[in-house]
Structure 1
Amino acid sequence: MELMMDIASTVVGQMQKPTLAFLIGGMMLAALGSKLEVPEPVYKFVVMLLLLKVGLSAGISVREADLIALAVPAVLAALVGISIVLVGAGTIARWRGVSQMDGMATAGLFGAVSASTLAASMAMLDAEGISYEGFIGALYPFMDIAALVTAIVLARMAAARKAAATQNAGGGTLTMGSGSGSSSGFGGGFDGKMIGTILRDTFQSAAISALILGLALGIFARPEAVFESFYEPLFRGLLSILMLIMGMEAWSRLSELRKVAHAYVLYGLSAPLIHGLLGFGAGLIAHHVTGFSAGGVVLLSVMAASSSDISGPPTLRGALPEANASAYVGSSTGLGTPVAILSIPLWIWLADLAIGI
C-alpha cells in the first residue's frame, strides 16, 4: 500500500509541473470545444528549435564522451527499436480483424521515438536535479531508424508473401524481388533497394535533419555561445507550447479510434509500458557495462515507451500507403503518447529502486 501511495504521489506531483500541466490543459481545452489553434508554421518552428537544442546539447557532450560509453547505449537503443517492432509483429499485427499492414505500421510508429516526449522527460529530470549523459539525444536516430526500417521491411515482406501465395493459387509463380514490384519504390515486392530508400527518406525528414544538424554542429563547431544565450533559455517555454499543442491533438485523435478495432485501444494503452520495460532492461545492461547513469536509464526507457509524433507518420505514409493512418496515428497520438508521458515517474521510481538516484 505504501508503495502505491508513493507512486501515486509522484504522479500527482509530476502532473502539477508545467510539462504535464500544459499537456493536460491542451486536452481539457479540446474537450471543452475551444477554438484555440496554434498555426502549423509555429508548431514546426517550435519543433525545429527543440530538436536543434537537443542535437546541439548532444553534440557538445559527444566531443568529450568516451566512445565506448556512447557506442554501447547506441547499439542497445537500436536493438530495443527492433525488438519493439518484433513484439508488435507478434501481437497487434496478428490480432483478429487487424490487417498485417496496419499492424506493422502501428508497431513501427510505437517503436520509433517521440522527440517531444524525450524533451519532456529531460525537462522533468532537470527539474528533479537528476543528471544524465549529454549524448542521450544522439541515441534518438538509432532507435527511430531501426524501428521504422524493420517495420517497413517486414510489412513489405509479408505483402510479397501474400501476393506470391495468391499468384501460386491462381497457377502462376511469384518470387520476392521479382518483377512484380517496383525496384525503387514501395509499391511492389521486396527488394534490396528498399532499405536504402527508407534510410534516405528518414534522414531527409524534418525532425531527423534538425536533430542531426544540431548534433553535427555540436561536434564539429563551437556553438556554446549561441546555445547558452538562445537555445537553453527558450527551451522550457517552447516545450510548454509544444505540450499544449500535443494535448489538443491527442484529444482530437481519440475520435479516430472509433473507426478501428478495439485492439488498437488495448495496444495503445499497454504497449508504452511494455516497451518502456524493454528500454529499462537495456538501460540496466548499459549501466552495468559502461556505468550508464540512472538518468540515462530513465531516458532510454522513455524513448522506448514513446511513439513517434514527428518523423514516423510521414515516413510510414510514404512507405506503406496501404496502411490505415487513422489506426496507427490515432492509437499512437491519442493514447500512446499521453501514457508514455504519464509513465515517466514510473521509470524514475524504478531507476531509483534498481540503481539509486
Structure 2
Amino acid sequence: MEFAADILNTILTQFQKPTLAFLIGGMLLAAFNSKLEVPEPVYKFIVILLLLKVGLGAGISVREADFMSLAVPALGAAIAGVVIVLLGTVTLARLKGVSRVDGIATAGLFGAVSASTLAAGMAVLDGDGIAYEGFIGALYPFMDIAALVTAIVLARISVARREAAQMAVSGQGTMTMGGAGGGGKRTQISGVDGDMIKGILVDTFRSPAISALMLGLALGIFAKPDSVYQSFYEPLFRGLLSILMLIMGAEAWARISEMRKVAHAYIFYGIAGPLVHGMIGFGIGLAAHHMTGFSAGGVVLLSIMAASSSDISGPPTVRAALPEANPSAYIGASTGIGTPVAILSIPLFMALADMAIGF
C-alpha cells in the first residue's frame, strides 16, 4: 500500500506542474468550446525551435559521450520501436472490426516518437532537478525510423498478400507461399524491396521533425553552438513548451470526436498502449542501466519515448506510404488519445524509476 501511495502522490504532484497543467488546460478549453486558437505557422515555428533545442543539446553531449553508453540505449530504442509495432500487429490489427492495414499503421505511429512528449518529459525532469544523459535526443531517430519502416513493410506485405489472394479467387492467378523444389508459382510481394525501404528512409529524414532534430544534432556535434544554445534555446524552452502543450491538449480533445468513425478497439488501444509500451521502454532502460550505468532520468525518458506516439513525422510518412489506411483511425488513436495518455503517464514512470533505481 505504501508503494502505491508513493506513486499516486508523485502523479498528483506532477499534475500541478506547468507542463501537464497546460495540457489539461488546453483540453478543458476545447471541451468548453473556447474560441482560443494558436495559428498553424506559430505551432510549426514552436515545434521547430523545440526540436532544434533537443538536437543541439544531444549533439553537444554526443561529442563527449562514451561509445557504449550511447550505443546500448540507441540499440534499445530501435528494438523498442520494432517490438511495439509487432505487438500492435498481433493485437490491434487482429481485433474484430479493425482493418489489418489500419491496425498496423496505428501501431507504427505508436512505435514512433512524439517530439512534444519527449520535450515534455525533459521539462518535467529539469523542473525537478533530475539528471539524465544529454544525448537522449539522439535516440529519437533510432526508435522513430525502426518503427515506421517495420510498420510500413508489414502493411505493404499484408496489402500485397490480400491482392494476390483476390486475384487467385477471381481466377487471374495463383499464389503459393513457397514450396519444396520451387515448383509452385510465386507471387512477388510487390513494392516490398530495397527501393521502398530507401523511400521510407528518405521521406522520414525529410520530414520537418527529423530534419530539424538531425540538423541540431549535426550542429551540436560538428560545430560549437554552446553559446547560442545557452543564451537563446535553453531560456525559451519551457515557455514555448507550455504553449505547445496548450495546443496539444485542445487538438487531442478535437481528435477524440474522430474516434466515433472507427472501431472502439482503437479507444482501448489508445489508452492501454502508451502504458504497455512505456513499460517495454522501462524494461529496456533498466537493462541499459545495469549494462552501462544508464541514469534513472534516462530510463524515464526512454519509457516516455516508448509510450509516446508520433504526432509530427509519423502521420505524413504513413499517409504517403499507406494511402489505403484510414487517417481517422491512426491519427485519432495516436494524437487524440495516445499523446495525452503518454504525457499524463510521465509521473508514473518517474515514480517507478525512483523506486527501482533512485534519483
| TM-score (structure 1 length as normaliser) | 0.96
Moved more, 163-172 or 44-53: 163-172
Describe how 1:272-351 pairs up with structure 2 within 5 A.
272-351=274-353
SS at match of 2:65: coil
SS at match of 1:131: coil
Q: Matches of 1:132 and 1:223 in 2, distance apart?
A: 20
| TM-score (structure 2 length as normaliser) | 0.95
The structure 2 residue matched to 1:247, chosen from 242, 246, 249, is 249
SS at match of 2:311: coil
Deviations 1:247-299, CA, capped at 9 Å, x for gaps: 00000001001111110011000000110011001101111111111110000
Describe how 1:119-268 pairs up with structure 2 within 5 A.
119-171=119-171, 172-173=173-174, 175-177=186-188, 181=190, 189-268=191-270
User: How far apart are residue 25 of structure 1 and its match?
Assistant: 0.6
Q: Is this contact kept in 2: 1:177–1:191, CA < 8 A?
A: no
Q: Matches of 1:255 and 1:141 in 2, distance apart?
A: 31
User: How far apart are residue 163 of structure 1 and its match?
Assistant: 1.2
Deviations 1:213-268, CA, capped at 9 Å, x for gaps: 00000000000111011000000000001000000000000100111111001100
Deviations 1:184-214, CA, capped at 9 Å, x for gaps: xxxxx42331100000000000000000000
Q: Matches of 1:7 and 1:79 in 2, distance apart?
A: 28
Paired residue type of 1:94: R
SS at match of 2:309: coil
Describe how 1:79-158 pairs up with structure 2 within 5 A.
79-158=79-158
User: How far apart are residue 176 of structure 1 and its match?
Assistant: 4.9
Q: Matches of 1:349 and 1:13 in 2, distance apart?
A: 11
Is there any run of 5+ residues in structure 1 with no aligned partner, and where?
Answer: 182-188
Paired residue type of 2:248: M
Describe how 1:33-48 pairs up with structure 2 within 5 A.
33-48=33-48
SS at match of 2:131: coil
Report the counterpart of residue 69 of structure 1 in structure 2.
69
Q: Is this contact kept in 1: 2:174–2:187, CA < 8 A?
A: no
Q: Is this contact kept in 2: 1:176–1:190, CA < 8 A?
A: no
Deviations 1:113-152, CA, capped at 9 Å, x for gaps: 0011000000111111110000000000000000000000
Is there any run of 5+ residues in structure 2 with no aligned partner, and where?
Answer: 176-185
